[in-house]
Chains A and B, each alone.
Chain A
Amino acid sequence: MTQPAPSTSPGTPTSPETPSSRDIILARIRAALSDVPRTPGPPDTSGIPRDYLQAHVPDDDPTALTDLLAAHLTDYRAHVHRTTTGRLPQVLAELLATRRTRTTVIPPELPREWLARTTGITHTTDHPHLTATQLDGIDTVITGCALAIAETGTLVLDAGPDQGRRILTLVPDHHVCVVRAPQQIVASVPRALPHLDPTRPLTWISGPSATSDIELSRVEGVHGPRTLDVILVSA
């Protein structure tokens, strides 16, 4: 087992005589587990049962998965639109007009052809120095996604080039997310994880921001975008 150098907590003495809090906690854990048989080497995880289902819906029917994603997103009050690659610029332009968007922010590598039909809208390409306050003045963010999960109605963003920094999909009040259907749709959470890299910043979005804190009445948009438009694009 590799033991990294003990970190020094501010105010925690770490002289050789005084055990650090780290040493104390580790020693307490080992003492607490004296009834547990120990074997050298990494723990054996083979005893964890993994006989739960990998998906709760058939995986091999792309149309059904797309329909299910649409239904579950709609359940949580996202607005779902379906179109083809060829018609996407037109659909996007109409959508932005409906939402009265005047300004957008877009990730650096969002396909420019998506925006070809928008007129009278200022598009700002994200850059590291664009601040939260500046983003607060922008109407709409447009992104792609890493993948979408049908069973749970979830969009997963992993800060890829067509998605950008996490802050983009948080501060503007309106998020348009483009999903390539069915290529980017997986059935379930167990099916999603193998496609994702946990060391990238991940944002999972299932419907717009919502609260049920007041008498359990659901209200959209406390802090994140209040309107979530999802465009499912087929070839």
Chain B
Amino acid sequence: MSRTDLGMPTFPQAARVSTKDAGLRANLTHATHTIRAKRAAAVAELPDWPRLRAAGAAVKDHTLRHLDHYLLQLEQAVTQAGGTVHWATTAEEANRITADIIKATGETEVVKVKSMATQETGLNEALAHHGITAYETDLAELIVQLGDDKPSHILVPAIHKNRTEIRDIFTRTMAAWGRPAPDDLHDTPAELAEAARLHLREKFLRAKVAVSGANFMIAETGTLVVVESEGNGRMCLTLPDTLISIVGIEKTIPTFRDLDILLQTLPRSSTAERMNPYTTMWTGTTPHDGPRNFHLVLLDNGRTDTLADTTGRQALRCIRCSACLNVCPVYERAGGHAYGSAYPGPIGAILTPQLRGTSTPLDASLPYASTLCGACYDVCPVAIDIPEILVHLRERVADQKDGHRAERTAMKAATWLLDHPAALSATERAASATRRLHPNRLPVPGPGKAWSDARDLPDVAAESFRAGWKKARGARTGTGTGTGTGTNEPKHDKDKDTPR
């Protein structure tokens, strides 16, 4: 695991800075609200959505419960199909394996299709130490790379940049990386995309090595699946001689048939499309079609620790659709960078502290980067109970021997508020009443402040914390997570259903 985040500020500190950036907030609000509305329409087309969601959760849970079996089956199938399988316990090991494979080809440049796993391992920086340049080829990742920036959203990594900023980045930096931007480049999306097309095609046509992640790995057949929109994925997956795919072990599914669930839920949850423009599936190598050498690097890097946590392990179901980011009031205001890891938003708030542990102040603060409104759970296509895991992780942080006293008291305040709906309503009324006087903070007194630091007041008033919570708890039926009572009664919430 890359520890480069040790110097990161904690979430509340980072969020306090980013929430003051009016441009960022405007970009984010526009983007998240647009995707949110479109996604709801795409999901509404499928009347069996709750059943697809339950099936998706069950497939992923089943795989995780037999992960050793399915990984061995996958390894055998990939090997039989002409691929080579490597196992990496840590980010460093995955990066080293990848660098060694690239060095053996004699190449010093690779093209990359957007991959959360390689962002998690810090692959590009690691390769740079070996004198290897990794070119990001997803348009948004290109914007981020050329801008010497970091991604801030799973699906739309440059969501925090507007078209003028992108034009300026292209004009300023493209020449240093390859084909320069055209003279007089305007800031229309079509012209910007055309500039990226010309810039990158040059790289695709000469690339000998590509690096990818994968959305799914089918144990039975050894097939890898990548879903994408732009075709840069297809370029990377089919043009070069050597393809290296670095994939978290949790991306395994048992059979080809299981894709019929996930290929219905992922595109609609993610880009709000009935289907994403391109999906590529490949099994090992095929003569005269695609790369001649295929390497699969199976990445642990904290996943087995996550698997050991009987509450937190459901986070490994995540199919990285990013729907939870777009509905999260905290993400909408704080932006993705405040989370300090490859995984922003609600999924980042639960996955990152599990993958990395909670020993740094940043990672210990992530479980508090939430209002527990439950919207993330409602949209999650694999029904991950994010609020439940958040509260669980808060307990873990609070139990840590040293430090984090503020978090411990914050956790108590949160729990107390959950258990005392009337008190919470009073707090919210107070917040509303004094809103003009305290524009930036929810005036929960004392220790509760740490927990509420990243929240913005108008949202509290717009949908009350308790109403959102109630709605979320009430919606929990038929998802197989075993925590739902399906009731709307706060009393039941208190007695039976408050996550512990």
A interface, CB within 8 angstroms of B: 1-4, 7, 9-12, 20-22, 24-26, 28-33, 35-36, 42-43, 45, 47-53, 56, 72, 75-76, 128, 132-133, 136, 149, 151-154, 159, 165-167, 170, 189-190, 192-193, 196, 198-217, 219, 221-225
Closest to B140 in A: A213
| A-contacting residues, B168-222, CB 8 Å | 189-190, 192-193, 196-197, 200-201, 204-205, 218, 221-222
Residues of B within 8 A of A33 (CB): 65, 67-68, 307
Extra 8 A-B pairs, beta carbons < 8 Å, given A132-B239, A189-B263, A207-B277: A10-B101, A52-B51, A56-B47, A152-B274, A198-B281, A201-B283, A201-B289, A202-B279
Most buried by A among B27, B51, B238: B238
**Shortest distance between the CB of A74 and any CB in chain B (Å):** 12
9 contacts between A and B (CB under 8 A): A4-B79, A25-B71, A45-B62, A159-B286, A167-B238, A201-B286, A214-B158, A221-B197, A223-B231
**Shortest distance between the CB of A130 and any CB in chain B (Å):** 10
**A209 interface neighbour in B81, B231, B281, Cβ under 8 Å:** B231
Closest to A205 in B: B278
| A-contacting residues, B105-146, CB 8 Å | 137-140, 143
Q: Do A43 and B69 touch across chains, with their CB atoms under 8 A apart?
A: yes
Q: Is B304 an interface residue (CB 8 A)?
A: yes
Task: State A45–B60 Cα separation when bound (angstroms).
Answer: 11
Q: Do B48 and A53 touch across chains, with their CB atoms under 8 A apart?
A: yes
Task: State A7–B84 Cα separation when bound (angstroms).
Answer: 7
Q: Do B46 and A56 touch across chains, with their CB atoms under 8 A apart?
A: yes
If the complex has contacts A12-B93, A35-B310, are A52 and B55 also in contact, measured as CB distance less than 8 A? Answer: yes
**A206 interface neighbour in B68, B276, B286, Cβ under 8 Å:** B276
**Shortest distance between the CB of B65 and any CB in chain A (Å):** 5
Task: State A159–B282 Cα separation when bound (angstroms).
Answer: 11
Task: State A136–B206 Cα separation when bound (angstroms).
Answer: 12
**Shortest distance between the CB of B389 and any CB in chain A (Å):** 16
Q: Do A216 and B273 touch across chains, with their CB atoms under 8 A apart?
A: no
Q: Do A199 and B65 touch across chains, with their CB atoms under 8 A apart?
A: no
Residues of A within 8 A of B156 (CB): 212-213, 216
Task: State A198–B35 Cα separation when bound (angstroms).
Answer: 31
Residues of A within 8 A of B101 (CB): 10
Residues of A within 8 A of B24 (CB): none
Q: Is B162 an interface residue (CB 8 A)?
A: yes
Q: Do A21 and B87 touch across chains, with their CB atoms under 8 A apart?
A: yes
Q: Do B261 and A31 touch across chains, with their CB atoms under 8 A apart?
A: no
Q: Do A26 and B45 touch across chains, with their CB atoms under 8 A apart?
A: no
If the complex has contacts A10-B97, A190-B260, A210-B229, are A25 and B277 also in contact, measured as CB distance less than 8 A? Answer: no
Q: Is B365 an interface residue (CB 8 A)?
A: no
**Shortest distance between the CB of A20 and any CB in chain B (Å):** 7
Task: State A209–B280 Cα separation when bound (angstroms).
Answer: 13
**Shortest distance between the CB of A29 and any CB in chain B (Å):** 5
Residues of A within 8 A of B401 (CB): none
Q: Do B68 and A26 touch across chains, with their CB atoms under 8 A apart?
A: yes
Task: State A165–B285 Cα separation when bound (angstroms).
Answer: 13
Q: What are the interface flags for B44-77 relative to A under an 8 Å C-beta threshold, 1 for contact and 0 otherwise?
A: 0111100110110011001001111111100110
Task: State A193–B110 Cα separation when bound (angstroms).
Answer: 33
**Shortest distance between the CB of A42 and any CB in chain B (Å):** 7
Dominant secondary structure of chain A at its interface with chain B:
loop
Q: Do B277 and A219 touch across chains, with their CB atoms under 8 A apart?
A: no
Task: State A52–B239 Cα separation when bound (angstroms).
Answer: 37
Closest to B236 in A: A223
**Shortest distance between the CB of B400 and any CB in chain A (Å):** 21
Q: Do B81 and A4 touch across chains, with their CB atoms under 8 A apart?
A: no
Task: State A128–B231 Cα separation when bound (angstroms).
Answer: 21
One of B251-259, B419-427, B459-467 at the interface:
B251-259
If the complex has contacts A52-B261, A223-B231, are A1 and B72 also in contact, measured as CB distance less than 8 A? Answer: yes
Task: State A193–B264 Cα separation when bound (angstroms).
Answer: 12
Q: Do B277 and A205 touch across chains, with their CB atoms under 8 A apart?
A: yes
Q: Is B442 an interface residue (CB 8 A)?
A: no
Q: Do A223 and B201 touch across chains, with their CB atoms under 8 A apart?
A: yes
**Shortest distance between the CB of A129 and any CB in chain B (Å):** 9
**B260 interface neighbour in A76, A189, A213, Cβ under 8 Å:** A189
Task: State A225–B221 Cα separation when bound (angstroms).
Answer: 30
Q: Do B62 and A48 touch across chains, with their CB atoms under 8 A apart?
A: yes
| A-contacting residues, B319-343, CB 8 Å | none
**B234 interface neighbour in A35, A189, A206, A223, Cβ under 8 Å:** A223
Q: Do B304 and A29 touch across chains, with their CB atoms under 8 A apart?
A: yes
Task: State A191–B86 Cα separation when bound (angstroms).
Answer: 35
Q: Do A212 and B65 touch across chains, with their CB atoms under 8 A apart?
A: no
Q: Do B85 and A170 touch across chains, with their CB atoms under 8 A apart?
A: no
Q: Do B79 and A133 touch across chains, with their CB atoms under 8 A apart?
A: no
If the complex has contacts A30-B68, A216-B156, are A204 and B275 also in contact, measured as CB distance less than 8 A? Answer: yes
**Shortest distance between the CB of B114 and any CB in chain A (Å):** 10
Task: State A133–B229 Cα separation when bound (angstroms).
Answer: 22
Q: Is B230 an interface residue (CB 8 A)?
A: yes
Q: Do A166 and B230 touch across chains, with their CB atoms under 8 A apart?
A: no
Residues of B within 8 A of A209 (CB): 229-231, 277-278
Closest to A154 in B: B275
Residues of B within 8 A of A31 (CB): 304, 308
Residues of B within 8 A of A76 (CB): 273, 277
Q: Is B22 an interface residue (CB 8 A)?
A: no
Task: State A2–B238 Cα separation when bound (angstroms).
Answer: 31
Task: State A151–B104 Cα separation when bound (angstroms).
Answer: 45
Residues of A within 8 A of B86 (CB): 7, 9-10, 12, 21
Q: Do A9 and B72 touch across chains, with their CB atoms under 8 A apart?
A: no
Task: State A9–B263 Cα separation when bound (angstroms).
Answer: 32
Task: State A25–B264 Cα separation when bound (angstroms).
Answer: 31
Task: State A217–B70 Cα separation when bound (angstroms).
Answer: 40
Q: Is B352 an interface residue (CB 8 A)?
A: no
Residues of A within 8 A of B58 (CB): 47-49
